[in-house]
Structure 1
Amino acid sequence: MVKETKYYDVLGVQPNATDSELKKAYRKLALKYHPDKNPEGGEQFKLISQAYEVLSDEKKRQIYDQGGEEALQGGGAGGAEFHNPFDVFDMFFGGGKRQQGRGVRPTVHQMKVSLEQLYNGFSKKLKVTRTVICTDCNGLGGPPGSVMKCPDCKGRGMIVKVMQLAPGMIQQVQSPCSACKGNGEMIPPKDRCKGCQGQKKRKVEEILEVHVEKGMKDGDKIMFEGRGDEDHNVPPGDIVIILDEKEHSNFFRKDDNLVMNIDIELVESLCGFLSSYQDFR
C-alpha cells in the first residue's frame, strides 16, 4: 500500500507498474508534452520528468511509496533535488550526448508500428524537418561585414533595467533585448540573407530510410547520428526514431513469444479441441 499516488497518476500507471511500463508511459507523455512540440506543456513536461525520475529509481521509489513527497524532501528541509527535465529527456532518448558536450539536443520521432511489422521487419521512408546552418550565407545571416553589434544591448543580448521598489530600495531586472531579440547582433534589412532572412539557420525537409529489423521491440530506438539539428561550433544532433507498437486484436508479445488469450467452454477444456488461428508467417 503506497501513501500517495500522485507520481503514478502523472504517468498514468498503477502503483505496481513494472520498469517497462514506466518507460513506456514516460516515453509517450514526454514526447506529447515536450515544449518543442507543445509550447503550453512546459509545466506538465517538468512534472512528468520528476515522476519518472523518482519511480525509475528503486531507492527513491521505495521512499516515495512509504512516505510520499514529504519523505523525499526530508521532511521539508531543502526540498527534493531533481535533474533538468531536458537532461532526463536527452538521457532517455539520446544517450546523454548533450551532457557530454558533443552536440545539440536529439530530435525524437515516434513511429507507429504493428506487431506484424515487428515480426517480419520492414523499411519505410520518413519525412523529417530539421534546422540547418544556412549554406547561402555560411551561417552569417548576410554578407561578410554586414553583421553589427546591437547598439541597444552592446552585444550582450540582454537589457538590464533598474526598478525602484521603495525609497532606498532598487532591483535590477534582466530581460532579452527587444531590438535584437536577444542575439546581440543586428543585420540591416537590405543585407539580410534571402535564404534564411538573416536568421543564420533555416528549416529543411529530408527523407530518411528507416529499416526495422525482425524482432525489434516496442520502445526500441533507431539512431541517425549527426542527421539532426545543426548549430554553430558544435557537432549536429542525432535523429532518434522510437518504435511505438500498436495494440493487436488477437496477440500480445511477451519477450520473444506471441501470446493469445482465448475464451473456451467447460466441455472444450475437459475434452480437448482443435482450433486454427492465422499467425504472421
Structure 2
Amino acid sequence: MVTENYYQILGVSYHADESEIKKAYRRLAKKYHPDSDGKNKEMFQKIAEAYRVLSDPKLRQQYRYMGHEAFRKSHGRNSFYYQYTYSYEEKEEDCSGCGSCGGHDHSGRSSHSHTKEGHCGSCGEGRTREEEPDEIPPSSIRAAVHLTMEETLREVVKEITIQYQEECPSCHGSRKEPGTGGKVCPECMGHGRNMVYANARYDSGRREETCRTCQGTGEIPEKACHKCGGRGYIMVSQKVKVKIPPNSCPGQFYFFQDIVCEPGFDKELRNLFVIVLIDEHPHFERRDYHIHASMSVDFVTMTLGGEIKVTTLEGIVPYTLAPGTEAGTRIRLAGKGLPAPKKTGGGRGDIYVTLQVGIPKTLSPKQKEALLTFGKYMGK
C-alpha cells in the first residue's frame, strides 16, 4: 500500500509557503478533530505529524532530502535528527569511489551500466558524499540505510525499500479521469505561469513562475483521475540491495547512479541517494563519533591493579589498570570508536569506558572470612 506524503496529507504543493501550510493545517484540523465525532483520531494524527514537519524549516529540509519513507523510519527509530545533528549549511563535497563490479542487476537481468566514476549502478555501488549534495535531482530517489555500529567498519550489502514516482497507468500523466476533459486553470487563466511580486504594492521584484495549480499546463482536470487522485503519478515501492563501503560515517551520503528497478521498468533510470543511520547498541552509547560504555571490575583488580578485558566493536581487547583505581574512573581506548568524516580529520573516534566496582551478591564462607580479616587490618 502506497503511503501519502506530508504534502499530500495537507493538500498543498511542494512549493507551499509557511502561510499556505498553516492555513491547510487549520482547515483540516478543524475538519478531522477527534472531538467532533471521535472517529477521526488517526487522520488527525497524520495531519498533526505532517504539519509538525513541514512547518519546521529544518525538518522540512531533512524531509526533502530523505523522502517520506526514509524520513519516517529514521524518525520512528530515533536515529536521525535526535541522535545526529546534520548540517545543511556546509556544502563541502568529498567523493570517493568504492570500485566497480558487475555483471547482473537485482532484477535478474544482465546489466553493465556504469556511473561516471566507473561504478556499476546495478550492483549497488556508488560514490560517497560526506555532506548532502547541493541539489538532489527531482527524479532521484532518497532512502536511508540502517547500520549497526559494528557494520560501519566493514563492507556490507543491505536490502532497503525505496519509493519512486511512476506515471499513472490509468491517466498516463494527464491527471484526468479517462474519458473526461480538462478546463482552464482558474489560477493562471490558462497561461501556465503566474506573475509573482516581492511586495504587496506590486512595484518591484516582479518575476514569473510556473503555476502550482496546473503545473504549467494551463488546465486542470474536469474530473481527477481515480487512480492517482489527479497527481498524474503513483508511488511505487521496491526492495533493492546496496553495497555500503567500510568506514561509513553517521549521516554520510552515498550516491548510486542508474539504479535498475523492477523488471519492465523502461522509464528513465533513477539515481539513488542513501544516508547512513546508526542503530542503537545494547552495550554502547554513541556520542558523535565516540562510544561510551560502562563495565564492572572486581574489587581486587581495582585495588591491586591488573589486566581487564574491554569489549570493543572488533571484539575483546586487554587493558592494564594501575593499582588503586577508583570507582567512576573513565578509561580511553583511542581510535576504537566509529569512523569520523574526513572534514574532521578522518580516522575513528574513541571508546570511553567508565569503571564500576563489581560487588558480589553471594560469598562463600572462606570469602566472607577473608573480607572480615581484611576489614580488621583496615581498622573496621
TM-score range, shorter chain: 0.3 to 0.5
Q: Which has the higher contact order (CA 8 A, sep 6+)?
A: 1
Say which one has the larger Rg: 2
Normalising to structure 2: TM-score of the pair?
0.36
Which one has a larger percent helix, Structure 1 or Structure 2? 1
Return the TM-score normalized by structure 1: 0.45
